[in-house]
Structure 1
Amino acid sequence: MKIKNILPMILFLVSFSFFGQNGKTDEKREKIKAYKVSFLTTELELNSTEAEKFWPIYNTYDDKQYELRHEKIKAYMRKLDDDNINSISEKEASALLSQIESADKELYLLRVKYNSDIKKVLSAKKILKLKKSEDDFNRKLLKQYRDKAAKD
């Protein structure tokens, strides 16, 4: 069997171990990130030149995206539970909506810059393969999470 066929199976089995641990969120995030890097490396079949240029761009984008989504947007969303929505004033709601729109715009601009940078490194075909691989990875991760939640 080729290493390309074996590596995803090994990574899939290893991935269950990080869901079973009660470690900190940062530790879980790092393990997921490592799993994602392995998964994408296998799927994209990057040559050494592409990999050398691709990973710094991808990691910078991924870190900034995570920061935006989890620190800013999630903070706003926590304010939007049913009790808070009913009790805030129209002025507070308008201010919160502006903050959310600003974070969404920042995320969009980050994505535009990332796409521009990545086009300098990868072919259009590999960029499409990257997008598909990211979706596949996310579905696989979500399935593992659901399977684990069903067992608990």
Structure 2
Amino acid sequence: MTIKKLFPYLFLLLSVTIYGQNEKLKEKKDQIKAMKVAFLTNELNLTKDEAEKFWPVYNSYDDKQFELRHQKMKTYAKKLNDGSLDTMSDKEASIFLNQIESTDEELYLIRKKFNAALRNILPPAKILKLRKSEVEFDRKLLHQYRNRTK
């Protein structure tokens, strides 16, 4: 068989493999999100009225900050780890640093807007408990990940 005849089969095989990996990642993300919802629901002890108002706001915030972190921060991490820092001029480094700071500012503004919206939904004590619960969930998730890899 020639390469020209094999190419469509190789392309199909590669496409199926990539699609399968994307499905697994989406499945994992959905699984983690479901675990987080259950954890936060339990920790915050939301009333029915609070939950109806809280979850759409929280999900919107969570999606925005996830997207920003994974779009921009992934790019930054690659650049920080690809060895180009050693050859970067001061001007390039300054521009790169400004980009990182800009992304940090965007994340801060998203969080600030989210907190302002929460003040109309939850009492301040529950907002603080949410912050604490998010950190606890992240720790718990990291702990589970570490135990699985051992």
Give the TM-score range, shorter chain. Answer: 0.7 to 0.9
Letter of the 2:103 partner, please give it. A
Q: Distance in 2 between matches of 1:104 and 1:138?
A: 19
Please say if 1:28 is aligned against 2:9: no
Counterpart of 2:97, as a letter, is: L
TM-score normalised over the length of structure 1: 0.80
Looking at structure 2, the residues matched to 81 and 89 of structure 1 have their Cα atoms a distance apart, in angstroms, of 16
Q: Does 1:106 align with 2:113?
A: no
Q: Deviations over 1:6-33 (max 9, x none)?
A: xxxxxxxxxxxxxxxx953222111100
Counterpart in the other structure of 1:9: none
How far the C-alpha of 1:124 sits from its partner, in A, is 1.0
C-alpha distance in structure 2 between counterparts of 1:119 and 1:149, whole Å: 40
Q: For the residues of structure 1 that align with 2:24 and 2:90, how far apart are their CA atoms?
A: 38
Question: How far, CA to CA, are the matches of 2:87 and 2:24 in structure 1?
Answer: 33
Unaligned runs of at least 5 residues, structure 2: 1-21
- Determine the C-alpha separation between the residues in 2 that align with 1:27 and 1:89: 42
Partner of 1:4: none
Identical pairs, percent: 57
CA RMSD of aligned residues (A): 1.7
Normalised to the residue count of structure 2, the TM-score between the two structures is: 0.81
Find the structure with the greater CA-based Rg.
Answer: 2
Runs (4+) off by over 3 Å: none
